[in-house]
Structure 1
Amino acid sequence: MYESQSYDVILKRMLDRVPITLDKREGSVVYDALAPAAAELAQMYIELDGTLRLGFGETTSGVYLDRRTSDRGVTRKPASPALRKGMFWNGGNQPFDVPIGSRYSCEQLNFVVKARLTAGQYELECEAVGESGNSVFGVLLPIDYVAGLACAELTDVLLPGEDTESDDQLRIRFLQKVREPGTSGNVADYRRWATEAVGVGAAKVVPLWDGPGTVKVVIVDTERQPATPSLVSDVAAHIEEVRPIGAAVTVVSAIGLAVEVAATVTLASGYSLQMVQDSFIQLLEAYLRETAFELTYVSYARIGTLLIGTSGVLDYTGLTVNGSTGNVALQSEEVPVVGAVNLGV
């Protein structure tokens, strides 16, 4: 709105208001008196334009986005800790039960035992919130002495830890609520209730999937990957608290469909095959995240575009996706995940 109010435009408008009988040339008293004021007014218009953008959901950010979304009851999801599986053994290599609340470390991160799953297996919570708790695996060392414990290992991710919700993720949920208002348990309501849960990246709702009064909610995590059983349970519990009376709700994880890519590439000078393959996998992962729950197929042409656009690739031949040279169809509950990627030279 204020983009046209530049320094030159403002200064010209001010000089035009000065009588022609006075010297208005650059360096004159009139010019030198008006130029600093024009510069300050131009800066003010720039700041006004930024302030105007902060007032709209599509262009605001940070704390101003929080204030905008809170008016509609949408709040930013806080960072959450990872829940992991820990396995414990005694000196005879038998499952060993450890105290609830005991603490262990793995690669500079600390974990606390929260609940017993089965003999020698426990649910552990990372003491550091965020995604950092998802990526460590291996030997657990007790912080405090546990009599009888011989060894321990950190294994599965039961519920991924999440960083604080980004502006883009929050904006999507806010605009979804504004543009698709819920009305007593319609599809928009169930989608909103599912995505309110920490760790959910997207949801698909199937009404009347098993007859009158039934609803199926299919979810993925924030990486648009199949959800863990713990995340499915959390979403089901949340929806159970807010759903209309009489609705029978089933929450399931999306099914991962592996997308396997093979091709022969011509490498640019200075690039190794491993470098190119790693870069291509990153691009492929980003594309498949965009595809999840948005398209009904994985585009063969798009994957070819990603491959030729990968740094170090001059050309390619023999591209196949899941063994064919066509699009890969996705069923209603499937999301694409990266499978085997085999690039040759």
Structure 2
Amino acid sequence: MTIPFSLEATFEDLQAIKRANVASIDPNLDMRETAPLFNATVVNSLETVQMIATLKHLIDLVYADTAPREYLIRRAAERGLKPYPATKAKLKAVFNIDVPMGARFSLDELNYVVIEKITIGEYIVECETPGNAGNLFLGNLIPIQYINNLQTAVLTDLLIPGEDEEGTEAFRTRYFNSFDSTSFGGNRADYKEKVGKLEGVGGVRVYRAKYGPGTVGLTIISSQFTKPTQLLINTVQEFVDPINLQGEGVGTAPIDHVVTVSGVNEEVINIALNITYQTGFDWNAIQLNVLAIIDTYFGELAEQWAKAVTYEEDHAGVIVRVSQIETRLLALPGVLDISDTVLNGHMGNIELDKESIPKRGAVSG
């Protein structure tokens, strides 16, 4: 019997199967809805639909565009790919005295351990909890064990952001991108793959002969899609091509590739808004929400910068669009209309340099 339905089993499929089953039965038999043969046919049709739904589910499991995380990981393993694991945040802590290596401190619910000395009283500490949680807090630290003469202990700066385990959709995208570009021997994809998976790195753009023949320029952005710290830049430089042995092939860069790592620039964008307010609202009433919306938009542009894959994308600057700013702000309570938005003193969009992301400057409404 030919089944007149697709793998997308629906109520209509059930009806089609039932009609097909009924049509194959001797018309002289009792097929009224209360008859045993009719009821048996309906049950058979239901079981067939269930088998079709199960078959569809099994097919979804084995194709990467529909596979849930567990099966996507198994599929990607065939190409030597696996999700990036969660990493631990590294931060700067300042003490009134030198403290011992391995000393542990707490701040709220998180614990930190001293791993490296910067200078007298200043250390790099690592959050013991992996993931983004370690990026969220600065402030006074409490020693877990007594340290003689310790009077002040302050967590002051985030140096290398921690990252959560790579998300399913980001991993799925990376899997499909692996078919478009093959990493090999210091090509563009090779640099992007090896640098992109380092702790604290959110993305990298690659530039040939940036500083002259035989040189390669790598511009990185932090995993929080912000300008990276100098420590992160130095860490990536040491991994790819150590400064004192540049071009020797000691790092991951091929021999004769003189690689220089730098951080993405931040271009300040000052914004003048011409807002018509709803009754009862003014600039003071909506200012914090406006700033939050602009920061979110600029964060999306920075993430867009980080996701560049191709040569063309590496050499394209992100565009700050007036229409995006105005459309997003129109959704705010208190905003009746908005027009004639000015960016850095000029009306119109701003296309940033290929190595820059936007940073909110002064905003007036």
TM over 0.5: yes
For 1:128, what is the secondary structure of its paired residue?
coil
Q: Secondary structure at the match of 2:206?
A: strand
Give a deviation string over 1:282-329, Cα, whole Å, max 9, x none: 642453245425552222222222222446543223422233221112
| Cα deviation digits, residues 230-262 of structure 1 (max 9, x gap) | 332333344343322221111211112233333
- Residues 47-62 of structure 1: pairs in structure 2 closer than 5 A: 47-62=54-69
Kindly tell me: are residues 314 and 35 of structure 1, through their superposed partners in 2, closer, same or farther at Cα, counting changes over 3 Å?
A: farther
Say yes or no: does 1:280 pair with 2:280.
Answer: no
* Paired position in structure 2 for 1:326: 348
Alignment of 1:98-177 (within 5 A): 98-177=99-178
How far apart, CA to CA, are the structure 1 residues paired with 2:359 and 2:155? 25
- Retained in 2: the 8 A contact 1:280–1:310? no
| Residue ranges of structure 1 left out of the alignment (5+ in a row) | 90-95
Shift of 1:140: 1.0
- TM-score, normalised to structure 1's length? 0.88
**Secondary structure of the structure 1 residue equivalent to 2:336:** strand
Deviation at 1:149? 1.0
Question: Does the 8 Å CA contact 2:9/2:53 hold for their aligned counterparts?
Answer: no
In the superposition, relative to structure 1, how do residues 327 and 15 fare at CA in structure 2: closer, same or farther (>3 Å)? same
Instruction: Give the Å deviation of 1:86.
Output: 0.5
Q: Distance in 1 between matches of 2:106 and 2:347?
A: 48
Matches within 5 A, 1:10-25: 10-25=17-32
**CA shift in 2, pair 1:39/1:325, >3 Å:** farther
Question: What's the TM-score once normalised by structure 2's chain length?
Answer: 0.83
The Cα of 1:158 is off from its aligned counterpart by 0.8
Distance 1:251 1:105 in 2: 34
1:93 alignment partner in structure 2: none
Q: Which amino acid aligns with 2:192?
A: R
Q: Which moved more, 1:68-77 or 1:51-60?
A: 51-60
How far apart, CA to CA, are the structure 2 residues paired with 1:238 and 1:41?
A: 57
Residue 261 (str. 1) matches residue 266 (str. 2) = no
Q: Secondary structure at the match of 1:47?
A: helix
How far apart in 2 are the matches of 1:221 and 1:56?
32
1:14 and 1:269 map into 2 onto residues whose CA distance is 67
Say if 1:183 and 1:145 are closer, same or farther in 2 by CA, change over 3 A: closer
Segments of 4+ moved more than 4 angstroms: 266-272
CA offset digits 1:193-247 (Å, max 9, x no partner): 2212233222111012223321111111233222222332333344343322221
Q: Confirm or deny: 8 A CA contact 2:227 2:266 kept in the other structure.
A: yes
Aligned partner of 1:304 in structure 2 is 326
1:248 aligns with 2:258: yes
Task: Give yes or no for the alignment of 1:2 onto 2:7.
Answer: yes
Structure 1 residue 87: Cα displacement: 0.4
2:141/2:154 contact within 8 Å kept: yes
2: CA distance between counterparts of 1:329 and 1:113? 43
Structure 2 distance, partners of 1:53, 1:270, is 53
Say which of 25, 33, 37 aligns to 1:26: 33
Q: Deviations over 1:65-113 (max 9, x none)?
A: 2112221122211111111110011xxxxxx111111111112211111
Supply the distance in 1 between the matched residues of 2:54 and 2:295 (Cα, whole angstroms).
Answer: 38
Alignment of 1:80-99 (within 5 A): 80-89=87-96, 96-99=97-100
Identity of aligned residues (%): 33
- Number of residue pairs aligned between Structure 1 and Structure 2: 337
C-alpha distance 313-289 of structure 1, shift in aligned 2 (>3 A): farther
Match of 2:305 among 292, 295, 301: 292
- The aligned residue for residue 317 of structure 1 is 339
Distance in 1 (CA, whole Å) between partners of 2:344 and 2:103 is: 46
Does the aligned pair in 1 maintain the 2:326–2:339 contact within 8 Å? Answer: no
- 1:31 and 1:239, CA in 2 relative to 1: closer, same or farther beyond 3 A? farther
Q: Is the 8 A contact 2:88 2:127 kept in 1?
A: yes
- Indicate how the Cα distance of structure 1 residues 115 and 283 shifts in structure 2: closer, same or farther if over 3 A, else same: closer
Kindly provide the amino acid, as one letter, of the partner of residue 243 in structure 1.
A
Q: Distance in 2 between matches of 1:282 and 1:255?
A: 16
Q: 1:169-213 CA deviation, whole Å, 9 max, x = no partner? A: 222322222211124322122112221223322211101222332
Looking at structure 1, the residues matched to 32 and 278 of structure 2 have their Cα atoms a distance apart, in angstroms, of 58
CA offset at residue 268 of structure 1?
5.8
1:248 and 1:263 mapped to 2: Cα distance?
A: 46
SS at match of 1:99: coil
8 A contact 2:103–2:113 mirrored in 1: yes
